[in-house]
Amino acid sequence: MREDQIHAAIKILRREIRQWQEPVVGVVARESARDPFRILISCLLSLRTKDKTTSEASARLFALAHTPAALLKLSQRSIERAIYPVGFYRTKAKAIHALCRRLLEVYEGKVPQSIDELMTLAGVGRKTANLVVTVGYQKPGICVDIHVHRISNRWGYVKTKTPEETEQALRARLPKRYWITFNDLLVPYGQNLCQPVSPFCSRCKLIDMCDRVGVVRSR
């Protein structure tokens, strides 16, 4: 994909993703008026978990408590029961307790706005930190998950080996006005059409712009 084609690609993506279900973090953000804490917790729950499971688990947990202080009052076992069957639910319940404790002790119960500070919280990696910054605080950042990493490289827009490298490459090349929404566009596209194995290239409106790097078989 040439650099001048990214504008047309973004326009197509915005139109195409309307046919698919909104990612769970976007739903939580919209329903909570972009509450950074609920976005943070839903991001944590979503790791290695399908959106439907994450959405249901988030709803059960937030029905019990949706602030650091209130969540910390719940037993770890209560949190486990609420979020089951998300992946690694016991580990995540423990991380939620530790995360809430640190927010209260260090940040007066408020979710920090910087990526570096967010990454000091239990269970929070760079992807989650970027999502909280961009979705929760509407601050510039690029959340790179496996879909963003894969598709950006498949297009030939970047040439990187890891999501961390992809984030830095996109920061250098992607127009800043697209940073916040890039993840929102590529996640549903990657889940539903530009899949890891045998993507639906015959149905892709970006086929003429895509270098199809690494695509061995397609539909």
CATH 1.10.1670.10 fits 3-21+141-203, yes or no: yes
Q: Position 197: which residue type?
A: V
Q: Indicate if 50 belongs to the active site.
A: no
Check residue 3 and give its pLDDT. Answer: 86
Check residue 70 and give its pLDDT. Answer: 97
Check residue 219 and give its pLDDT. Answer: 95
The active-site residue, picked from 145, 159, 161, 211, is 145
In 174-214, which ranges are continuous DSSP H helix?
Answer: 179-192
Instruction: Specify the CATH class of 35-137 in words.
Output: mainly alpha
What is the H or E stretch that residue 103 is in? helix 89-107
The active-site residue, picked from 110, 127, 139, 184, is 127
Does the pLDDT value for residue 108 go beyond 90? yes
Asked, colleague to colleague, whether 3-21+141-203 and 35-137 share their fold, the answer is no
| Domain range list for the chain | 3-21+141-203, 35-137
Q: pTM for the full model?
A: 0.90
Q: What percent of the chain has pLDDT over 70?
A: 100
User: pLDDT, tens digit, for every residue of 114-146?
Assistant: 999 999 999 999 999 999 999 999 999 999 999
Q: Is the peptide bond before 85 cis (omega within 30 degrees of 0)?
A: yes
Distance between CA atoms of residues 72 and 65, nearest Å? 9
Q: Indicate if 127 belongs to the active site.
A: yes
Report, as an integer, the average pLDDT of 28-53.
94
Burial of 74-113, coded b for 16+ CB within 10 Å and e otherwise, reads: beeeebbebbeebeebeebbbbbbebbeebbeeeeeebbe
User: pLDDT, tens digit, for every residue of 53-77?
Assistant: 999 999 999 999 999 999 999 999 9
